[in-house]
Amino acid sequence: MPENPLPAQAMVNAPKPPLPLLITGIAGVAGYNAFHYFRERYPGQVIGTRRADNRRLTGEGVAACDIHDPVRLEELFQLHSFAAVLNAEGTCALRSCELDPPLAWRINVLGVANLLRLLPPTTRLIHLSIDLVFSGNGAGGYRENDPTDPVTVYGKTMRQAEQLVLDSHPAATVLRISLPMGISFNGHAGAIDWIQARFQANKPATLYYDEVRTPTYTDCLNRTIERILAAPNRADGPFSGLLHAGGTRQLSLYQIAQIVNRIGGYAPHLLIGCPRQAAGPVPPRAGNVTLNSSRLTARLGSAPFTPWPLDDGQVPTDRQWHHARQGGESPDLLANTLYRNPIYSGDAK
């Protein structure tokens, strides 16, 4: 089993991030898991925002606020005087972004501009971006200084947002992530969610052989974010600027679906694979957008992520791998090994 990169005791003794903390976009997988992680660690000192029309997402510390609404956003800042912000907001529905570019721009770009106007230089900021700022037409393994060339409206607006943060808040961290693997608010927001929902409903799921990502457990991502937030807030700080935060295992979307299918114990025939060119023109699909995260590892002084999935035995070896069963596969096994990192089971947070 891989070594725990961020042991529980290390997190107990680690410096605390500046508080109070604002986490935007808690309806998404990264934001939702971060919100609950930080709320448990720092009770009463973490506020999470959800869009005003998302009335199902309620609870202590949850605030209705559209990031592109400058008046409401300013009200929250005046009320709480945030010392740190994790910006996880963004609309990532590829088809919706292609069909309504102004909506994508309003949330992904204008929202970030609104947020930046409210931040004093002393506020610690992490802005989450995405691997889809790259086309993936090459061999992958993208580094921070590689030129971006997104093929989707989503990727293009996320690239614009990155530049806004880097230009206006030089002490901030722009963290490019890949697929965050964790539970979601509505059971539909994440990669695992969509695939599993199709299988649970006995419906086919079509995934691509040649769209390749570097997924991470949100359990690892949360701990990494905590360490970055606690770092010095200055332009020459160890985590200022652009950093890649992709996992250590490269997997195609088809392979990810194979893992969900087999570990969850679902019918193998429901999984269909095809090349991304077969997806049609809308939305266009990226190729190999795997991230090289060696810069982040060097600055942390240790590997921030275990592989996803943690168990090498859960990794497909061929395109028919998910047809074989060893017994014990179930949705519970999926929840305990794919949504959650088993290495942290029982850890005191």
Residue 348: band (very low, low, confident or very high) from pLDDT cuts 50, 70, 90: very low
Residue 261: band (very low, low, confident or very high) from pLDDT cuts 50, 70, 90: very high
Q: Looking at the predicted structure, is the pLDDT value of residue 10 above 80?
A: no
Is there a domain that residue 205 lies in?
no
Q: Looking at the predicted structure, is the pLDDT value of residue 201 above 90?
A: yes
> Across the chain, what does the average pLDDT equal?
93
Is there a domain that residue 85 lies in?
yes
Q: Looking at the predicted structure, is the pLDDT value of residue 235 above 70?
A: yes
Is there a domain that residue 322 lies in?
no
Number of other residues whose CB lies within 10 A of the CB of residue 186 = 12
Q: Which amino acid is at 192?
A: I
DSSP, residue by residue, 125-143: EEEEEEGGGS---S---B-
Write the pLDDT tens digit of every residue in 81-123.
Answer: 999 999 999 988 888 999 999 999 999 999 999 999 999 989 9
Q: Which residues 6+ apart lie within 8 Å of 137 measured at CB?
A: 149, 287, 288
Distance CA 236, CA 308 (A): 32
Q: Residue 211: name the closest of 281, 132, 155 by CA.
A: 132
Q: Looking at the predicted structure, is the pLDDT value of residue 2 above 50?
A: no
- Model pLDDT, residue 349: 40
Distance CA 187, CA 197 (A): 8
Q: Which domain holds residue 74?
A: 8-191+216-248+287-308
- Is the Cβ–Cβ distance between 82 and 34 less than 8 Å? no
Residue 1: band (very low, low, confident or very high) from pLDDT cuts 50, 70, 90: very low
**Phi/psi at 59 (nearest 5 deg)?**
140, 175
Distance CA 234, CA 222 (A): 22
- Model pLDDT, residue 346: 61
Write the pLDDT tens digit of every residue in 133-185.
Answer: 999 999 999 999 999 999 999 999 999 999 999 999 999 999 999 999 999 88
Write the pLDDT tens digit of every residue in 298-331.
Answer: 999 999 999 999 999 999 999 999 999 999 999 9
- Model pLDDT, residue 280: 80
- Model pLDDT, residue 13: 65
CATH of the domain at 60: 3.40.50.720
Distance CA 9, CA 163 (A): 36
Distance CA 209, CA 221 (A): 26
Task: Please count the structural domains in the chain.
Answer: 1
Is there a domain that residue 326 lies in?
no
- Model pLDDT, residue 11: 57
Is there a domain that residue 152 lies in?
yes
- Model pLDDT, residue 7: 53
Residue 207: band (very low, low, confident or very high) from pLDDT cuts 50, 70, 90: very high
Q: What is the DSSP letter of 234?
A: S
Number of other residues whose CB lies within 10 A of the CB of residue 280 = 9
Percentage with pLDDT > 70 across the chain: 95
Write the pLDDT tens digit of every residue in 29-45.
Answer: 999 999 999 999 999 99
Write the pLDDT tens digit of every residue in 268-298.
Answer: 999 999 999 998 888 999 999 999 999 999 9
Is there a domain that residue 162 lies in?
yes
Is there a domain that residue 315 lies in?
no
pTM, to two decimals:
0.94
Is there a domain that residue 208 lies in?
no
